[in-house]
A and B are shown apart, each in its own frame.
Chain A
Amino acid sequence: MENNINDDNAPKTCEYDPNVNQDELIKAQEKQIAEEIKANTAMVGSLDGLSSLEEEYSNDPVYSSKVKTLLPKFSNVRRTRPDGNCFLRGFIFAYLEYCIHHRDELVRFKKYLESSKEELFEIGFPKFTTEDFHDMFMEVVSDLEGSGSIDRVEAVCNDAGTSDYLVVYLRLLISAHLQKNAEFFSFFIEGGRTVEEFCKQEVEPMYRECDHLHIVALTAAVGVGVRVMYLDRGEGDALVSHDFPEDKEPIIHLLYRPGHYDILYKA
């Protein structure tokens, strides 16, 4: 180590340069990482066997033994882009896929979507843009009513503009649900913030990760059951799972790994 101190050839990237704006440097690096992720992963990837998860953890005894317990129950996984929208994109994809196989659910969802617009206006979201996001979602659902195939769902969820608009609309639905039930949700918000402040900071901005509260609000608002399987370093071999809402039969299964959600397919 001592030799390095006097080594003129050693990289000096860690030196503090007061003439450089450190915030700007950090931002630039964050942007670069985000762009790499964008270039290398699809918003919603292809259907992979669960064995691909096993391979990921071949050198990790804790995770690999946990993945094994998933095997009898689940057959496939579909990875989502880790850009902070992964829960919402996973939810949209899995739900639309469910809907093309369950037409009555698609009809119910369309009705819900139609009525949701007015609710968002009541909360105070601007008509001008909210209508845009709403119309895009309606268009997607109507299109699936006619030509509902998994290819269409894949195309819609991987088209940047469309996919992001759907994500934004879900963010608005979550925010509206939290604000309408502010009295209840205020008990769960940390940092002395109001529900409205929480929504402005953690729900409405794009790329903000979804946490428990977001999931509780979304599943309650849309009326769709989601089961999340938690793959982490917690004790025991079995994965902890949680159903949102607790009393509803889940139709969507997601795999949670710290900071990220992917879609799971039941065997």
Chain B
Amino acid sequence: MANIAIQRIKREFKEVIKSDEAQKCAINVELVGDDYRELRGEIAGPPDTPYEGATFQLEIKVPETYPFNPPKVKFVTKIWHPNISSVTGAICLDILKDQWAAAMTLRTVLLSLQALLAAAEPDDPQDAVVAKQFKENHPLFLETAQYWSHVHAGVPKGNSEFSKKVRRLMDMGVGEHQALVALSSCNWDMDRAIEQLFS
């Protein structure tokens, strides 16, 4: 890795760790290995969103050409959000693509992702199924996103009706996450989820 990239990322790493947001446990970053090529980021779900109380892990890969090209970031923790793929964790965010500027830092990235959780852009979706639900059945989207936070991101409580439906599918031999995906994308309609899973 180019020297300039390593120097920059080392300093940015410290900037995140020492930041006010890190003190409040809102963002964090850790090393993966010892060469600063790959980092593990962490953001807390913002208050007054279905992600409140959740903690999301992020995979951050630093390219050779950093900071002139953006870091490659994706969600490791599964999340239900219009701009993040519920399958791969890929993110649709302008600053991680064509609007990256060399003056931005890891801290900017983590805070921007946190802001994205609070303000989705369903018209520029990464996950079309989630975006459709977001626009057409917003209350159900909020419930579903909250339930994903419960199942995958450490939030203690989740919708008990949803739990029952997931359990029923699991009794039919479906894996927990598979059941969750099928039910979420079928607006929690049991019959449609079964059809999708078994047809």
Residues of A within 8 A of B (CB): 125-126, 128-130, 132-133, 160-161, 164-165, 168, 171-172, 200-201, 204-207
Residues 1-39 of chain B, each 1 if its beta carbon lies under 8 Å from chain A, else 0: 011100010011001000000000000000000000000
Q: Given the complex, which residues of A lie within 8 Å of B108, measured CB to CB? A: 126
Contact yes or no, B2 A160, CB < 8 A: yes
Residues of B within 8 A of A (CB): 2-4, 8, 11-12, 15, 67-69, 98-105, 108
Contact yes or no, A126 B99, CB < 8 A: no
Contact yes or no, B105 A129, CB < 8 A: yes
Assuming A129-B8, A165-B4, A206-B100, what are 11 further A-B pairs, CB within 8 angstroms? A128-B11, A128-B12, A129-B67, A129-B102, A130-B103, A160-B2, A200-B101, A204-B99, A204-B103, A206-B68, A206-B69
Contact yes or no, A206 B103, CB < 8 A: no
Known: A126-B108, A129-B67, A206-B69. A171 touches B101 (CB 8 A): yes
Contact yes or no, A128 B15, CB < 8 A: yes
Contact yes or no, B68 A164, CB < 8 A: yes
Contact yes or no, B99 A201, CB < 8 A: yes
A161 to B68 CA separation, bound complex (whole angstroms): 10
12 examples of A-B residue contacts, CB within 8 angstroms: A125-B103, A129-B67, A129-B102, A129-B105, A132-B8, A161-B3, A161-B4, A168-B68, A205-B98, A206-B68, A206-B101, A207-B68
Q: Which of B3, B11, B103 contacts A133 (CB 8 A)?
A: B103
Q: Given the complex, which residues of B lie within 8 Å of A128, measured CB to CB? A: 11-12, 15, 105
Contact yes or no, B103 A161, CB < 8 A: no
User: Nearest Cβ distance between residue A84 and chain B, in whole angstroms?
Assistant: 11
Q: Given the complex, which residues of B lie within 8 Å of A168, measured CB to CB? A: 68, 101-103
Contact yes or no, B99 A129, CB < 8 A: no
Task: List the 7 closest A-B pairs by CB distance, nearest first.
Answer: A204-B101, A161-B4, A168-B102, A206-B68, A129-B103, A205-B101, A164-B68
A132 to B99 CA separation, bound complex (whole angstroms): 20
A132 to B12 CA separation, bound complex (whole angstroms): 12
Q: Given the complex, which residues of A lie within 8 Å of B99, measured CB to CB? A: 200-201, 204-205
User: Nearest Cβ distance between residue A189 and chain B, in whole angstroms?
Assistant: 16
Q: Given the complex, which residues of B lie within 8 Å of A200, measured CB to CB? A: 99, 101
Q: Name the CB-closest residue of B to A125.
A: B103
A172 to B102 CA separation, bound complex (whole angstroms): 10
User: Nearest Cβ distance between residue B10 and chain A, in whole angstroms?
Assistant: 12
Q: Given the complex, which residues of B lie within 8 Å of A132, measured CB to CB? A: 8
User: Nearest Cβ distance between residue A229 and chain B, in whole angstroms?
Assistant: 29
User: Nearest Cβ distance between residue B65 and chain A, in whole angstroms?
Assistant: 9
Q: Given the complex, which residues of A lie within 8 Å of B11, measured CB to CB? A: 128
Q: Given the complex, which residues of B lie within 8 Å of A207, measured CB to CB? A: 68
User: Nearest Cβ distance between residue A220 and chain B, in whole angstroms?
Assistant: 21
Q: Given the complex, which residues of B lie within 8 Å of A160, measured CB to CB? A: 2, 4
User: Nearest Cβ distance between residue A212 and chain B, in whole angstroms?
Assistant: 21
Q: Given the complex, which residues of B lie within 8 Å of A205, measured CB to CB? A: 98-101
A246 to B98 CA separation, bound complex (whole angstroms): 33
A125 to B104 CA separation, bound complex (whole angstroms): 9
A82 to B103 CA separation, bound complex (whole angstroms): 22
Contact yes or no, A161 B102, CB < 8 A: no
A158 to B8 CA separation, bound complex (whole angstroms): 20
Q: Name the CB-closest residue of A to B3.
A: A161
A130 to B101 CA separation, bound complex (whole angstroms): 11
User: Nearest Cβ distance between residue A191 and chain B, in whole angstroms?
Assistant: 14
A234 to B158 CA separation, bound complex (whole angstroms): 67
A190 to B32 CA separation, bound complex (whole angstroms): 44
A164 to B101 CA separation, bound complex (whole angstroms): 12
